[in-house]
Structure 1
Amino acid sequence: MNTPASARRVPGNPRHVPGNPVRDLPLPDLDGFTHRWVDAGGVRLHAVEGGRPDGPAVVLLAGFPQTWWAWRKVMTTLADRFHVIAIDLPGQGHSERPDISYDTHTVAAYVHAAVKALGVPTYWLVAHDIGAWVAFSLALTHRSRLHGLALLDAGIPGITLPDSVPTTPEQAWKTWHFAFHLVPDLPETLLAGREREYVGWFLKAKTLSSDTFDDAEIERYAASVAAHGGLRASLAYYRHAAESARKNHEALEQERLTVPVLGISGSHGSIPDMGASLRPWADQATGIVVPDAGHFIPDEQPDAVAAALDDFVTEAD
């Protein structure tokens, strides 16, 4: 029996939506999709579901500093053929922000429980940035439930994420925040009340075109980080990265990634060749580079991302 889930199908005040643990945060709707909340092993997670119920299931995870909304343009294209589910990670968007370990194996267990609670036994997993950290760990621990794994522009803790932050100006701006987020208490002190400026820097500096995100989009993501527990949870993924790395290595000592893997890079992103970076750890890994894109590939080139995912599923099937 599936874990009970609450659903919201029509616009309304998020304060009055049953099961929503972040009721002070605006809740955007996407035509053809339904908001749902599920009990995922003790943590309440938010999912947005739509598309073809009889189609292959594709689960989408976003990274920092975004929410499920990062996938909206990709979701509407995939909905013609796939059963599409975008999930807010713990601490993200309208998911609960619990005081837990945010190492990626712990979080992966919650994500997988959420998918199972939605009645989806097997699925394709697609993830960006920190979402890709979680997806990599999930693929190691729940490989029998996955058809394939697509990861977008992310270094994986303990695997492809560097142990040190470069100090040359042309490289340091891409990764400086990894060290900053690890410092106890100081980021919270400096960022509280300034989430809009901080989030805006990432969204503008890491896209090829700085006008990819308008003011409303920046405000939307900043509000999620600023909402109760959001900043703490966002930093926790970085603060628990060493534990994520340790558990990744433990899992890889038992077995490599056995599901098909697609690495998607942006032409001007952080990881020049995602496929090559993942190949040492996977039995089947391919890669593509999306032209005219920086780090936030689903926002910058959504049609190219949707086409790549469609091809990946079709070829693997």
Structure 2
Amino acid sequence: MTDDTMTSNRSRDRNPFPGLPLHDLAGFTHHWVDAAGIRLHAVEGGRSAGPTVVLLAGFPQTWWAWRKVMPGLAERFRVIAIDLPGQGHSDRPHGAYDTHTVASHVQAALDALDVPTYWLVAHDIGAWVAFSLALMHEERLHGVALLDAGIPGVTLPDSIPTDPERAWKTWHFAFHLVAELPETLLTGREREYVDWFLKAKTLLPDTFDDAEIDHYAAAIATEGGLRASLAYYRDATESARRNHEALGRGNLTVPVLGISSSHGSIPDMAASIGPWAENATRALIPQAGHFIPDEQPEATVDALTAFIDPERVG
């Protein structure tokens, strides 16, 4: 890719949401790139000559979910954190949010950023997208790490448990599917909703401070953010169908690292993914709930660094 092409594909001054505060992270640069007809926000830093590590966050977060992990990874790798469609400072298109469609946008963004091959690391809904992306573009991946997520049509259960001891972890899947009601109840109350998620699903409820909660709530409240966040759940059936279709052609062959936590939602990510991946290994992060990169960033960096062997990619 030529320098002129790269310049046309990147624009550092095209923030589509100027009213939404844009956080800076030392050593990293913001980009907005064309991604198959929409603009995605990417934050890039680290060693340009090192292996590329791509980070995808989940609900209700943005790329900022990786802020504690990115500096440690940047010591050895080129690091790119991407806001998915509907997240943070990326566009919030109307239309499909099934994970194969979203994965196509992510891959287009990486093409625009001149990333031929990479390691993919993803949490929660980001892991939904990462699994589908791996099914679609396995030849571009050196490996994929999935953090505490059930994958639609693969490991995500079809029914919500009614046991109160377990239902609190997954009740929102059904709620988000209901037409119009979530918007009615949540518009203007985004902060209260985000606050519940970030406190209830962490081992220590003070993991997130008020400023962080404000940031994530503002991203959801801004110009279609709530609609887009709900759309991932509302299109989960189509995500499941397309995952099944792709798996009918064969399982994943790239290395897969399943990262679980001591108090997360999925006790053993590797075991849950194992039937659909030929090379799945496990990492368990102690003293953490669902939001592993926020709760135990150093352990997360260690697990990822052990998984990503630079010598394997030259």
- Counterpart in the other structure of 1:157: 152
Distance in 2 separating the partners of 1:215 and 1:316: 41
Q: Structure 1: which 5+ runs fail to align?
A: 9-17
- Counterpart in the other structure of 1:13: none
- Counterpart in the other structure of 2:262: 267
- Counterpart in the other structure of 2:192: 197
Aligned residues: 308
Are 2:87 and 1:83 aligned? Answer: no
Deviation at 1:174, TM superposition (A): 0.4
2:176 counterpart (144, 165, 181):
181
Q: Secondary structure at the match of 1:108?
A: helix
Distance in 1 separating the partners of 2:19 and 2:311: 42
Are 2:85 and 1:114 aligned? Answer: no
Distance in 2 separating the partners of 1:59 and 1:187: 31
Aligned residue runs from structure 1 range 1-317, under 5 A:
1=1, 2=5, 4-8=8-12, 18-314=13-309, 317=312
1:196–1:222: 8 Å Cα contact kept in structure 2?
A: yes
1:157–1:245: 8 Å Cα contact kept in structure 2?
A: yes
The C-alpha deviation readout for 1:221-246, integer Å capped at 9, x for no partner, is 00000000000000000000000000
2:50–2:310: 8 Å Cα contact kept in structure 1?
A: no
Distance in 2 separating the partners of 1:112 and 1:136: 13
Q: What is the aligned-residue RMSD (CA, Å)?
A: 1.0
Q: Secondary structure at the match of 2:154?
A: coil
Distance in 2 separating the partners of 1:250 and 1:316: 34
The C-alpha deviation readout for 1:117-176, integer Å capped at 9, x for no partner, is 001100000000000000000000000000000000000000000000000100110000
Q: Secondary structure at the match of 1:254?
A: coil
Q: Secondary structure at the match of 2:308?
A: helix
1:5–1:36: 8 Å Cα contact kept in structure 2?
A: no
2:10–2:34: 8 Å Cα contact kept in structure 1?
A: no
The C-alpha deviation readout for 1:204-232, integer Å capped at 9, x for no partner, is 00000000001110000000000000000
Percent of aligned pairs sharing the same letter: 73
Deviation at 1:315, TM superposition (A): 8.2
Distance verdict in 2 for CA 1:129–1:54, change over 3 Å: same
Amino acid at match of 2:113: L
Q: Secondary structure at the match of 1:212?
A: coil
Q: Structure 2: which 5+ runs fail to align?
A: none
Deviation at 1:316, TM superposition (A): 8.2
Q: Secondary structure at the match of 2:170?
A: helix
Distance in 1 separating the partners of 2:227 and 2:279: 36
Distance in 2 separating the partners of 1:244 and 1:19: 30
Q: Secondary structure at the match of 1:155?
A: coil
Q: Secondary structure at the match of 1:73?
A: coil
Distance in 2 separating the partners of 1:171 and 1:148: 31
Distance in 2 separating the partners of 1:127 and 1:294: 16
Amino acid at match of 1:90: P
2:51–2:310: 8 Å Cα contact kept in structure 1?
A: no
The C-alpha deviation readout for 1:245-285, integer Å capped at 9, x for no partner, is 00000000001101000000010000000010011000100
Q: TM-score, normalised on structure 1?
A: 0.96
